[in-house]
Structure 1
Amino acid sequence: MKYKLIALDVDGTLLSDNHELTEGTMETIKKIAEQGTEFVLCTGRAPGSSIPFMKQMGLEGYIITHNGAATVDVRTEEIIHEFAMNPHGLDSYIDYCHKNNVHFDVNTTFALYVQGAAGLSQEALDLYGKFMVVPKELPGWADMSEPIVKFTVTGQMEELDKVYADWSLWTQEFNMLRSGDFFIDLMHKEASKGAALKKLAEKRGIPAENVMAIGNYYNDLTMLTFAGLGVAMENSPLEVKAAANAITASNNDEGVKLALQKHCL
């Protein structure tokens, strides 16, 4: 088989809008994995909300999490690589969030921190629950024992459009991207799904032409353009479709399964 490493985005790609992984998609992935192809989930999610899907599919190997900021071994949960942020560089962003009542959280590879975690609304807790996350109280920078890999703000699309426009005028120490309609992420300047996938492919001795990637959003652009075959979902924005080599059906129509059947079986 030409493709030795296949990277799959999770939300909006592998999963339906109901956050479900279909039996048909799972069986197709298992069939290709049995032929020796490695699969890696390449997602904005944390390891705790990504590894369960790998285990559900009977896969080991690696996951690329936090939009490329951390790569983790599925079996041992060892951190293979992470792009650590300068926490003090986040102070002005946090001040902005406080002044404009914008919700934010701070992520290490395995934990998520929120100011006032104990007082979060049920709506906020339900949102985190969808991603299998339990927020912890954000300590001071001096008391953070693990490197920070991602800073995320959440809100309505119109609210985040303004945040993105405002922050785009700032001198950027970080990589800023829209990882979904309701999310903006800040990461280390060099962190991206494409950069992490490139590092993993090199570690596995697999050239780019033998890598396939499937995704649906702006945070997937770097991995779609790195891979020898980049496939965009039908539910992708036009810019993402334009950057891909091929387009498959939507996440609600088993687009991942159909792409894998077409290009790998």
Structure 2
Amino acid sequence: MSIRLIASDMDGTLLNPQARISAANIEAIRKLEQTDTEFLICTGREYHDAKAFMEAEGITCGYICLSGATVHDKNGRAQTKIPLTAGNAADIERIFNSYSINMDILTSHGRYTTCSREQKAKIARSFLSRRTSSPAELEQVIEQYLETVTFIESMEKLPEYATVFKVCGNDILPETVMEMKKTFSYHPELAAASSFPTNIELTNANAQKGIALKAYADLRGISLDDVMTLGDSDNDSSMFTPEFGWTVAMANAMPCIRDAAKYHTKSNEEDGVAWAIEQFVLGQEPKKHN
């Protein structure tokens, strides 16, 4: 059994706590170019966002984005698009409203939110504070981010041409997230997951990382035994099923990922992706996690 495809999450996995790709991770990924092993991004982020990180480092690869709702090959060609239906969107909005939770709505034509500008700035400030070196830089980054978001009152205000792929709620009490997930469990046509304990993400049930990864591998004639997955959070769970031969949890992973993983690597702060590539692909095989 060899590794022919590596599918890596971004936040909490490939990206360090400062939301950067470390030099060690970049070097390890570039070493793969001299092998028969393909590197694939598998993220909840939007395509243009994820691609910007990789292109900045001169890395060309394929992308599974929006938690599995869109797939692009390494040449940028869209291969799969799985949107939420109008009924899905209506159910999500109704449930979010019942909990008085604002929505971030990721579409084919950008990101929309029902947050006020002040609320979104507060959430962004909390999320980005560790990623900037000074208060002035932080405020500049926040302003730049806010310019990429369109503020609306409800989904009814979305333009007709905007296809909805994913809806998120952020800055939510963890116990409320758990309650919302239970509520959404009665909607089997939807997939509810989290990137961290205070958020919830909704996609079409067929738009999950693991489902998209299986299709991606099949298209390339790669056995799932020869696929390695790297992740840290609940929204990576569909990539941590027994069919995949090499499921590798980050040291900073949520318990659900650590428990499901066959193998473990170091944390995202310790270049865990590079360590896994060096050990599992380019070096000796470590012992399987029990």
Q: So what's the TM-score if we normalise by structure 2?
A: 0.81
Structure 2 residue aligned with 1:175:
191
Is the contact made by 2:11 and 2:19 (CA closer than 8 Å) also made in structure 1? yes
Distance 1:236 1:121, change over 3 A: closer
Is the contact made by 1:151 and 1:187 (CA closer than 8 Å) also made in structure 2? yes
Is the contact made by 1:229 and 1:245 (CA closer than 8 Å) also made in structure 2? yes
How far did residue 15 of structure 1 move? 1.1
Superposed counterparts of 1:59-98, under 5 Å: 59-76=59-76, 78-98=77-97
Q: So what's the TM-score if we normalise by structure 1?
A: 0.88
Determine whether 1:6 maps to 2:22.
no
Alpha-carbon distance in structure 2 between the residues aligned to 1:167 and 1:116: 21
Structure 1 residue aligned with 2:31:
31
Is the contact made by 2:190 and 2:202 (CA closer than 8 Å) also made in structure 1? yes
How far did residue 155 of structure 1 move? 2.1
Is the contact made by 1:12 and 1:251 (CA closer than 8 Å) also made in structure 2? yes
Q: Which stretch shifts more, 4-13 or 231-240?
A: 231-240
Alignment deviations for residues 66-88 of structure 1 (CA, whole Å, 9 cap, x no partner): 11111123543x32101121123
How far did residue 173 of structure 1 move? 2.7
Alignment deviations for residues 209-255 of structure 1 (CA, whole Å, 9 cap, x no partner): 22111111122122132422110111112221221110111111111
Alpha-carbon distance in structure 1 between the residues aligned to 2:181 and 2:25: 35
Q: CA RMSD in A?
A: 2.6
Structure 2 residue aligned with 1:242:
259
AA partner of residue 204 (structure 1): R
How far did residue 154 of structure 1 move? 1.4
How far did residue 109 of structure 1 move? 4.4
Is the contact made by 2:265 and 2:272 (CA closer than 8 Å) also made in structure 1? yes
Distance 1:97 1:256, change over 3 A: same
How far did residue 10 of structure 1 move? 0.5
Give the total of aligned pairs: 263
Superposed counterparts of 1:130-141, under 5 Å: 134-138=148-152, 140=156
Aligned counterpart in structure 1 of residue 234 of structure 2, from 218, 230, 239: 218
Could you tell me which runs of 5 or more consecutive residues in structure 1 were left unpaired when the two chains were aligned: none
Q: Which stretch shifts more, 115-124 or 58-67?
A: 115-124
Is the contact made by 1:4 and 1:36 (CA closer than 8 Å) also made in structure 2? yes
Is the contact made by 1:46 and 1:109 (CA closer than 8 Å) also made in structure 2? no
AA partner of residue 101 (structure 2): V
How far did residue 163 of structure 1 move? 2.4
How far did residue 61 of structure 1 move? 3.0
| Helix, strand or coil at the partner of 1:179 | coil
Is the contact made by 2:84 and 2:204 (CA closer than 8 Å) also made in structure 1? yes
| Helix, strand or coil at the partner of 1:6 | strand
Q: Which stretch shifts more, 177-186 or 110-119?
A: 110-119
Could you tell me which runs of 5 or more consecutive residues in structure 2 were left unpaired when the two chains were aligned: 129-140, 283-290
| Helix, strand or coil at the partner of 2:240 | helix
Alpha-carbon distance in structure 2 between the residues aligned to 1:55 and 1:88: 36
Determine whether 1:260 maps to 2:277.
yes
How far did residue 118 of structure 1 move? 5.6
How far did residue 112 of structure 1 move? 1.4
Alpha-carbon distance in structure 2 between the residues aligned to 1:75 and 1:105: 29
Alpha-carbon distance in structure 2 between the residues aligned to 1:173 and 1:237: 25
Determine whether 1:46 maps to 2:54.
no
How far did residue 96 of structure 1 move? 3.3
Structure number with higher strand proportion: 1
Is the contact made by 2:103 and 2:115 (CA closer than 8 Å) also made in structure 1? no
Alignment deviations for residues 143-165 of structure 1 (CA, whole Å, 9 cap, x no partner): 33143211111123233233223
Alpha-carbon distance in structure 2 between the residues aligned to 1:141 and 1:263: 49
How far did residue 8 of structure 1 move? 0.5
AA partner of residue 253 (structure 1): E
Structure 2 residue aligned with 1:228:
245
